[in-house]
Amino acid sequence: MTPNSKSFVPQGARRFWPFVVGTRWACSSPPWNAQLLLCSSLLEGVIGIQSNEPRENWKTLPRDQLATQMHEGGAGIEHPSRTFVASLIHKGESVLDVGCGAGAGYEALDSLGLESRYLGIDSSEQSIEIARSLYPAGDFRIGSATALVSQFGRDRFDVVLVRHVLEHLTDFEAAMNEAISVSRRLAIFVFFLTPRSLPLGVRKLDLRFNSPLFYTYVYSRRAINRFLNGCGLHWRWYDHLGISRAGWFAHEVNSALVVSRDKSQLA
């Protein structure tokens, strides 16, 4: 473990209620009952009745939305989290981009000459079709974040990137374990809903800012740290890596978790 595991608290929030609801710094207006929805989600977490059924409704999004949503509005190659990820990749390294969508991650690495051994996977067939059409030189395939070992084998890639994926899954452990297992040097997890200390020790909270289309969970950073510690891994958190378009939540930022079996890789 590395020493920087202090929990993220958004600007204007408090440690014991680490959420900011508002319109000035949010990309959409909150519903009138926003705080009630948060309290309801917290209660569900306390009594353990949160849904654990997979829900991948993004597969049904219109083609034009899939093609543009991660390329426009500051979310493309110019986003600071993409620059940060690129800074961790060595030239010539193999990279697996889990949840690659329409290929914005490939474009970011290609602009820096880091794309030579890139492979992007996504569970959305339509997103893969779009990525192939936009970037014919790239390698894009259908794949699941929770079945990487069976598809590729262990220790297959130098760097595995999982960007803006875990928030949409009903738990983080399976996908995180798969990514770490197929990585040789680093597994990088980028969150647009930054894990933080959640009230009453709750493991995850459904923010419901775009419900019912997606699950959008905020996870407990302490729970993630405990999981990694139990696996005997080393990790480091990096916060404030560019703003997040997080619905009606204000002051949300991208954060990254970098994980390795070798502590020296985190220096």
- Looking only at the bridges linking them, the beta strands covering 183-191 and 157-163 are parallel
Q: Is residue 249 part of a domain?
A: yes
Is 78 within a domain? yes
Residue with tokens 């009903």: 170
In a domain, 76, yes or no: yes
In a domain, 45, yes or no: yes
Per-residue pLDDT tens listing for the chain (267 residues): 444 556 899 999 999 999 999 887 788 888 889 899 999 999 999 998 887 776 666 677 788 888 887 888 788 899 999 999 999 999 999 999 999 999 999 999 999 999 999 999 999 999 999 999 999 999 999 999 999 999 999 999 999 999 999 998 889 999 999 999 999 999 999 999 999 999 999 999 988 766 666 678 999 999 999 999 999 999 999 999 999 988 888 899 999 999 999 999 997
Residue 14 inside a domain? The answer is: no
Domain assignment present for residue 15? The answer is no
CATH of residue 125: 3.40.50.150
In a domain, 87, yes or no: yes
What is the residue range of 41's domain? 34-266
Number of domains making up the chain: 1
In a domain, 122, yes or no: yes
